[in-house]
Structure 1
Amino acid sequence: MKNFFRNLGPGILVSAAFIGPGTVTVCSLAGVEFGYSLLWALLVSIIACIVLQEMSARLGLVTGKGLSDSIRQSITSPVLRLVALILIFSAIVIGNAAYEAGNISGAVMGVQSIMPIEEISISGNVINLWSFIVGGSAFILLYLGSYKQLEKVFIGLVVLMSLAFIITAFLTQPSWSGIFRGFVPTSISDEVLTIIALVGTTVVPYNLFLHASLVGEKWTGVNHLKTVQSELVFSIILGGLVSMAILICAASSGLSSIDDVAGLAVGLEPLFGNMATTFLAIGLLAAGITSSITAPLAAAYVVKGCLGWKGGMANWRFKAVWMSIIILGILFSSLGIKPVEIIQFAQVANGIVLPVIAIFLLWIVNQESILGKFRNSAFQNIIGILVIALAIFLGAKSIYTVIQNL
């Protein structure tokens, strides 16, 4: 058991990345609007996440390279390579810059649920100081921390948010029969955008790049493959349980609507006392901080691979990328832009981008010249194709739904 916990690392960071304010927001909205009925969608998302992240981790362990680096070196056509890298750069780097504001704002929501708002006015603009405190904390952790130090921070924060959300779910006294029925799929005509948002917040495209890079930071050699796989499965299942707990909290709250995630915490207070509010606020704060670190870190790894930079986290160009994303996140968050609708839209967009990134990944892990005997088996390809087909179907249906509503 001691060795198992010593081997926790990259998988925990993946869980920390997808249990961010986006997950809290989307799962809360899903619970309030549809009750327990979309728990099945989260279960499918967790399975899809395990399948795709295992491919990414295996690629990183065997090759010692990140996903964007492998794509750059594998596409021989200069035109196709340029198109692929521009697509990846746009989807991950620019997208992560937008997510960072939501991540920081999500952590601030948690703080403001249990502490007073700290604001100052500059030239007529109201600045939220908590955004600078949260973003500054993420900045300092990344600037001072080596991978091993960050790993310890993440393990602590993931345990904290897991306990906070799971305990809160029990405090809300949910309907257990309703929970069990929620794992049986129903018609998705009215729920498609929420379903794809749940997929997009669990199977996060930038995590595929982050995971491939991080396994090389922790392990060397394919003899660690079994360890990587078991650590990954444990971490993602833990993250999935947290997502389900958030949905259950919202479904059990008795609320008919919420304007923001802090509203969910306030809504729980008269029913279950200050304890539920405090647990939810702590979980939201931890979720925001972890995602505030992983999003810029993932973007830096993507840029490093796309441009072929050498060196690791200490490289000044690598640092410049994540610094820029954190600073942008702090600025947008501090201006008081409400993140909930932006986060929900981002998760839908995330789900639409996912099939493209997943197709690139599936193609790479089938290259014998890259993975040798560790390339995908026929069974892994079948599962991978099913996951991609599901992502394409949901993405196409969401686009059709949006067009119909215009």
Structure 2
Amino acid sequence: MQTQQLVPLALPRGQKLFCELCRGPATLRCGSCAVTYYCDVEHQSADWVSIHEKICQLLIPLRTTLPFYNSEEERKHGREQKLRREKFLAELTQAVAQNFLLEGKHEDAIPAALHSLKFSISVHSSNAVELVPAYLILAEAGLGLGHLAQAEEYLSQAQWIILKNSHCSNAIQSDFHRNLGLLHAAKGNFEDSLYHLANDIYFSSCAFGTNHMAASGGYFHMANVFFRQNRMDIADSLYSEVTNIWHHHFSHFIGLQYHTLMTPAELDMLAEEEETTEEVLDAKQRAEAKQMLSAILEIREQSPRPQLAQIAKVLHTLAMFHYLILDVPKAHELVMKLLQVMKKLPKYEPSESLHQLVKLLKSKPIYAK
């Protein structure tokens, strides 16, 4: 891993430079790019681990004096080139920050998200709707760290932009209301939390369709709020809704792979659909499915009066999930556990998707992931 050299600053009288992260007075400079400044070693280290190592050299042409252009055409080309670089960096830094959130590394997500926000402002202006994803990442990181005041500030910035932009997408509004719902839940404002989580479900349904997996997060977090209020009947029904959404989604793709296995003559025709597993289970969806379904299974199993049919449904859904992400040993383990539960349910009829999953597992060797 590359290391960063730091150079103490000796500034001429009256000249001020600011820290990349906190905008406080800078005392250090990156010795590699020579265009990035920090107030102390801690902020330098945080930025380096989060994003600076990846973009260090890319910052040089953006932060050095522009060359002298001989014509308006050259000046226009220079501006367009700068804009393309900033757009690229805005997208790259946002993707890196989002990946840190998926890994539960909330502290590491913050510097990358701050960079994304700065580049987005430079490209789109300070009130553009394109800034909202960066604000939401910063808010989610703050919630993950328990910094509720900071999270609320970022959500307020996002809300202001959303209110000023009537064309803000349903998907962005869904993410905004989910974060606001989680903030209110963390503060103990359960009724406000439920209101915003209901809006999350509404906007995600508008964006992706009723009972799409994008809405499962809203149902899951609503269930958690009712669980905390000891309103178990409502929580139970919402946890079941989450399980049903993912179960339906995974069953569809298990069916596609099963029919490919059973009818090899159609392999070429179905190859394209088989390859869509990555698309329908992107990194964010994988993280959400695993988090929600694992939590629901734990709640079901630890219930004072476990409902075996509900446990079986979650086990089946998790088994399909792990098969689809190519974790065959885990899928096999969950199916074995499911079959043990089903022995205690004489009236429980195995579904077609379970038969298909078992046959798919039998077609593959058990290997360590």
Higher helix share: 1
TM-score scaled by structure 2? 0.28
Asked which structure has the greater CA Rg, the reply is 2
